[in-house]
Structure 1
Amino acid sequence: MTTTDTKQEIEKNGFSIIENIYTDIEIQQLTDIIDNTDTSGATFRKSTNLFAIRQFLKEMPEISHLLFNNSLKQLIKEVFGEDYFAVKSIYFDKPGESNWFVAYHQDLTISVNTKVEIEGFGPWTTKQNQFAVQPPLELLENIFTIRIHLDETNKDNGALRVISQSHNKKIYRAETIDWSIETEITCEVPKGGIMFMKPLLLHSSGKTINNNRRRVIHIEFSNKRLPDGLQWAEKMNIL
């Protein structure tokens, strides 16, 4: 698939899967850094069903040069342009015995540095000392997400299920999904592959039933400046 095909697929369907962005050696280097990190801080969430690290790039700055290898940086430049920067990052580890699942939803909030009452921004939430707010629709439409897969992900260990083209339907509540017209797709991604996704794409993930682990690094990008008084909480230039 060419980068033109990838761009067209994202625009049409809301997602695209690219294989072989990372070698097995690079994946091992990434997981070694994660496994050797102190996880006692406030941005770390641990349970029997899920291990998550919010503000991932801030917590592990030494991992950036491995994550943003030449293959990924070139792909981002060709598909989206050279002016995008990272604005949010989360690491998910779904253990093999996990019964954790996520119902259909859109990603409707951004992470910001403070709470400021600005027209068009709201409602507000706070998670682990991080302010989040729903911004105007045009800002959400500008964002794209990269999901980096450190394990093979398939229908049996919680691969994302998406409703193709739903990102073009603005705010789309899960309870209003019309299954007579919508198409659900299971997004299986091999180890070392990535998935591009638009945040407004309706997506969900199921329970793990094959006892295989699923580790994913989720990074969101934008090239937009926020209104005066607000700043991206995790802005990082990577290109």
Structure 2
Amino acid sequence: MADYKLHKEQLEINGYSITKPLISESTLVNLKKIVYREEKSYAIRQLVNKQPEILEVLFKEKSFRELYAKVCGKGYFLTKAIYFNKPAMSNWFVGYHQDLSISAKEKQITKDYVQWTYKEKQWGVIPPEGILKNTITFRVHLDSTDETNGALHVIPKSHVKGIIRIDEHFKKEALGKEVLCNVEKGAVMLMNPLVLHASQRSVSASDRSVIHLEFCNQEIPMGWLERKSVENDKIF
């Protein structure tokens, strides 16, 4: 039996944790069909708004429900859903960063909510640190990923440093030793959005597709753009 309690502890201590494969092959195939029903793209934002079946399909998997129950428990809800794919031989890389921006229903100037942006017809804003500390990301891997196809590099425990300024003075070495996160197909990588992470170019013939889901237990004054209940909709 999987030790989901251990994953919760690793997430709290290191800012991330990687499970063994827990999503069945049939479910992975189904998820890809649902994703590509919308569009064939490197990134699809508001994924669950566009394809609500995604949550239902995932939560039918007993192992995923058990992981979610142990890591999040009651009171959490979906706040963001994105599909990412780094196709074979992609030549772009993403430098070290934290996932600071959240998706808001509307722009509302509020204390401690800063750096408003408007991209792809949606508002983004950096919330107070407490919102990010109470957010948990589930990266559901539809493909295996390693150093050849853009696996994430993370700096363990960097999430406890709060919001880190990334500028010409930023030195990742000062924050700790980076770790390469190899993740098997059907596995889930758990992350705190404040943990520093990056990804390299792909030199592989394999895609690296991921469903990125963020859950939080805090409401925000301007409302979450993608808020979806997990418990009340009888998914969980």
SS of residue in 1 equivalent to 2:229 = coil
**Amino-acid identity (%):** 40
CA distance in 2: counterparts of 1:207 and 1:216, whole angstroms: 16
CA distance in 2: counterparts of 1:88 and 1:104, whole angstroms: 21
Q: 1:169 aligns with which of 136, 139, 161?
A: 161
**Pairing of 1:80-229 with structure 2 (within 5 A):** 80-175=72-167, 176-179=170-173, 182-227=176-221
Q: Which amino acid aligns with 2:165?
A: R
- 1:60 corresponds to which residue? 51
**Over aligned residues, Cα RMSD in angstroms?**
1.5
What do residues 176-219 of structure 1 show as CA deviations (whole Å, max 9, x unaligned)?
23515511001110000000000000000110012211100001
CA distance in 2: counterparts of 1:174 and 1:152, whole angstroms: 29
Q: Give the TM-score taking structure 2 as reference length.
A: 0.92
Moved over 4 A (4+): none
Count of aligned pairs: 227
What do residues 89-138 of structure 1 show as CA deviations (whole Å, max 9, x unaligned)?
10011110211211100011110100011011011011200101001111
What do residues 141-161 of structure 1 show as CA deviations (whole Å, max 9, x unaligned)?
110100000001111100000
CA distance in 1: counterparts of 2:126 and 2:175, whole angstroms: 28
Q: Which amino acid aligns with 1:212?
A: S
CA distance in 2: counterparts of 1:203 and 1:20, whole angstroms: 22
Q: Which amino acid aligns with 2:210?
A: V
Mark the CA change 1:178 to 1:61 in structure 2 (over 3 Å): closer, same or farther: closer
Task: Judge conservation of contact 1:105–1:173 (CA < 8 Å) in 2.
Answer: no
CA distance in 1: counterparts of 2:80 and 2:175, whole angstroms: 33
- 2:224 corresponds to which residue? 232
Q: Which amino acid aligns with 1:27?
A: L
SS of residue in 1 equivalent to 2:92 = coil
CA distance in 2: counterparts of 1:4 and 1:216, whole angstroms: 23
Q: Give the TM-score taking structure 1 as reference length.
A: 0.90
SS of residue in 2 equivalent to 1:179 = helix
CA distance in 1: counterparts of 2:7 and 2:176, whole angstroms: 22
What do residues 70-97 of structure 1 show as CA deviations (whole Å, max 9, x unaligned)?
2212211112212111000100111102
- 2:26 corresponds to which residue? 25
